[in-house]
Amino acid sequence: MKALVSTGGRSVQAACDWLFSHVDDPFLDDHLPREFVLYLRPSGPLQNQLSHFWQQSRVTCGKNKAHNIFPHITLCQFFLCSDPQVEALCEALRAAVQQWRGRFPSPLPLELYTSSNFIGLFVEEQAADVLKQFAADFAAEATRKAEVHVEPHRKQLHVTLAYNFPSSHLPSLEKLAKGIEVKLGCDWLAVLFSRDIRFANNETLRVMYPYAPQNEDELELLPGDHIFVSPVDQGSTSEGWVYGTSLASGLSGLLPENYVSLADESDTWVFHGSHSFFSPGNRSSEDSFGASLSFTGALHLRQVLRMGGSHSRQPRRTLLVCRHGERMDVVFGKQWLSLCSDSKGRYVRSNLNMPPSLPLWGDKRDYHMDAPITVLGTTQARLVGEALLESNTPVDHVYCSPSLRCVQTAQNILKGLQQEGKVKMRVEPGLFEWTKWVSGSSLPAWAPPADLAAAHFSVDTSYRPLVPVSKLAVSEPYESYMSRSFQVTKDILSACRGSGNNVLIVAHASSLEACTRQLQGRSPPSPKDFIQIVRKIPYLGFCSCQEQGDTGVWQLADPPILPLTHGPNHSFDWRETLLQE
β-partners of residue 559 are none
Q: DSSP strand E in 457-574: where?
A: 502-507, 542-547, 554-557
Q: Which of 158, 275, 324, 365 is catalytic?
A: 324
Nearest by Cα to 293 from 579, 581, 8, 580: 8
Report the C-alpha gap between 320 and 372 in whole angstroms.
Answer: 22
Let me know if 323 is a catalytic residue: yes
Report the C-alpha gap between 339 and 350 in whole angstroms.
Answer: 6
Maximum pairwise Cα distance, the chain: 96
Answer left, alpha or beta for residue 540, where phi above 0 means left and psi between -120 and 50 means alpha.
left
Nearest by Cα to 447 from 406, 415, 481: 406
Q: Which of 195, 313, 323, 365 is catalytic?
A: 323
Report the C-alpha gap between 372 and 349 in whole angstroms.
Answer: 13
CA angle 418, 422, 427 (to 5 degrees): 105
Report the C-alpha gap between 577 and 5 in whole angstroms.
Answer: 70
Nearest by Cα to 486 from 545, 445, 411, 541: 545
Q: DSSP strand E in 342-481: where?
A: 397-400, 425-427
CA 300 to the chain's CA centroid: 30
Q: Which of 206, 382, 426, 508 is catalytic?
A: 508
DSSP reduced 3-state for 416: helix
- Interaxial angle between packed helices 295-307 and 12-21, expressed in degrees from 0 to 180 and rounded to the nearest 10: 50
Let me know if 52 is a catalytic residue: no
Residue 154: how many other CB atoms lie within 10 Å: 10
CA angle 104, 280, 550 (to 5 degrees): 100
Let me know if 300 is a catalytic residue: no
Report the C-alpha gap between 10 and 292 in whole angstroms.
Answer: 7
Nearest by Cα to 444 from 365, 376, 555, 524: 365
Catalytic residues: 323-324, 508
